[in-house]
């Protein structure tokens, strides 16, 4: 699953950049979370435990971008 998560995050990061969000996404498998790092240095930790790739992207949008 780790490879699938990493590939999903790489593509999602590119899509977010294209939408005007300069962020870096880092997966932390031991705690099953994604750290969203914004260009201004702010970090948001998103719980992605047991998520499918689509559910993970939705969680990142909801928890880090307040959608």
The predicted structure's pLDDT at residue 1: 53
H-type helices in 1-67, by residue range?
Answer: 2-18, 53-65
Domain of residue 20: give its range.
Answer: 2-65
Of all residues in the chain, the percent with pLDDT exceeding 90 is 84
- List of long-range contacts for 36-42, beta carbons under 8 Å, 24+ apart: 36/60, 36/64
The predicted structure's pLDDT at residue 2: 62
Q: Tell me the pTM.
A: 0.89
45 strand-pairing partners: 35
Domains identified in the chain, total number:
1
Q: What is the pLDDT of residues 3-13, one digit of tens each?
A: 688 999 999 99
């Amino acid at each position: 699953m780790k490879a699938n998560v990493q590939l999903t995050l790489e593509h999602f990061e590119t899509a977010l950049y294209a939408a005007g969000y300069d962020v870096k996404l880092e997966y932390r498998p031991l705690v099953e979370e994604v750290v969203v790092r914004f260009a201004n240095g702010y970090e948001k930790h998103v719980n992605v435990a047991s998520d499918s790739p689509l559910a993970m992207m939705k969680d990142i949008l909801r928890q880090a971008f307040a959608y």
